[in-house]
Amino acid sequence: MNKIAAMALLASAATTAVTAPARADDVRIGFVTTLTTGAAVIGNDMKNAVDLAMDHLGGKAGDSTLEIIFGDDGFAPETGKQVTDKLVKQDDVDFVAGYIWSHVLLASRKTVLDADKFLVSANAGPSQIAGKLCDENFFSTSWQNDQVPMAMGEVLNRQGVSSLYVMAPNYAAGKNMVSGIERTFEGEIVGKDLTKWGADAQLDFSAELAKARASGADGLFVFYPGAAGGAFIRQYDQAGLKDELPLYSVFTVDALSLPKLQEADFQAVLGSRSTLQWDPSLENPANAKFVSDYKAKYGGYPSYYGAQAYDAIMLIASAVEAVGGDMDNKDGIRAALEAADFDSVRGNFAFGTNHMPVQNFYLREVVIDEDGTWTTQVVETVYEDAVDPYAAECKMK
């Protein structure tokens, strides 16, 4: 079988539809995530959160029945685009949501937007789509990639850290993370490594850790999501770098990696700090219900991936209800999405002019909860109502 045929077959198999071919009167939401490969740990957490949102909604938005069609991007831009094509052209979905990876979102966006469908990113936030490639039908329930490391740079400045060694994977989001830390950190970046990413991502960081140790930096800043994050933390712990080279991370230590780190008793992660726009400890009714019900249903804490996926479904449901299920009312749907009149797990939720959230960013610390489980809690608010740095470049059509 040639490569093109194999990719087409994978794309066809990757989208799981639960509908008959005929178009029903319900509202269809395509949700693209990673359900195979080593990155499936992230995609499954997002799928769990989507399913929980549907439970909380009773499968409906007002009088309209909601239907989710999941698509597996296989951790590859080509497959992600093919899956998106199927959702839009064959399944005729009304909304496409999800997208963990920036390169997958960038490869898929035109399929959705050119078809005059609504696109809601539940994770990926590449700078291009926040700026010059913004679109009136694109919305995000996460962040623009630079923002979380920008918050960490501000934390480091407050703590008097004067030099950093930086590590991240070599793809769109990794480059945005490096750009974000460089945007706000006032000290010196003494070394930088961008490592191989994709289905065969680099998981051995011994050479890079040796370089970081020898650099004399005050700290190590890293971005490694999913399985790569767990691999990195294990090697960092085994190298005994906790006291010599303090770790500052984004999207690396989370509810997906902490159970395995706890099981292995990697104590180096306790007390480590990261920045983010959400945490399970945020005190608002929607978050309390989300976290409690997620733990009860799935046996552990949700990650921020899950929180953003949950918000994406709740946002879409609010817009469907606002227009009484009239999917031909594009202007009404768009206005309802912009209004964001739903109970977010973040508390107050609002969009900026480029349809990226305007939101708080927090410093979080790894702690042990009352049940002995390793988790995170908010230490302080770093930014309030932050607007991403690319909003000024956005000119809506």
The predicted pLDDT at position 3 comes to 39
Other C-beta atoms lying within 10 Å of the C-beta of residue 303:
25
Cα 40 → chain centroid:
13
- Which residues are bridge partners to 367 per DSSP? 375
Identify the CA nearest to 78 among candidates 131, 129, 3, 177: 3
Label residue 339 by pLDDT band (50, 70, 90): very high
Label residue 230 by pLDDT band (50, 70, 90): confident
Contact 123, 308 (CB under 8 A): yes
259 vs 396: which has the higher pLDDT? 259
Identify the CA nearest to 43 among candidates 81, 98, 87: 98
229 vs 310: which has the higher pLDDT? 310
CA pair distance 89, 96, nearest whole angstrom: 12
Identify the CA nearest to 42 among candidates 373, 310, 306: 306
Q: Kindly report, residue by residue over 33-91, the tens digit of the pLDDT.
A: 999 998 899 999 999 999 999 999 999 999 999 999 999 999 999 999 999 999 999 99
The predicted pLDDT at position 333 comes to 98
CA pair distance 243, 235, nearest whole angstrom: 15
Averaged pLDDT, 366-376: 97
The predicted pLDDT at position 59 comes to 98
CA pair distance 121, 139, nearest whole angstrom: 6
Q: Extract the tokens encoding 121.
A: 């990113």
Lowest mean pLDDT, pick from 6-15, 134-143, 278-287, 333-342: 6-15
Contact 181, 149 (CB under 8 A): yes
Q: For residue 346, is pLDDT > 50? A: yes
- Which residues are bridge partners to 248 per DSSP? 221, 273
The predicted pLDDT at position 397 comes to 60
Identify the CA nearest to 348 among candidates 321, 375, 381: 381
- Structural domains in the chain, sorted by start: 3-143+283-358 (3.40.50.2300), 147-276 (3.40.50.2300)
SS3 129: helix
Q: Kindly report, residue by residue over 203-218, the tens digit of the pLDDT.
A: 999 999 999 999 999 9
The predicted pLDDT at position 396 comes to 83
CA pair distance 19, 138, nearest whole angstrom: 25
Other C-beta atoms lying within 10 Å of the C-beta of residue 68:
21
Chain position carrying tokens 């949102």 = 53
What is the DSSP secondary structure assignment for residue 276, as one 8-state letter? E
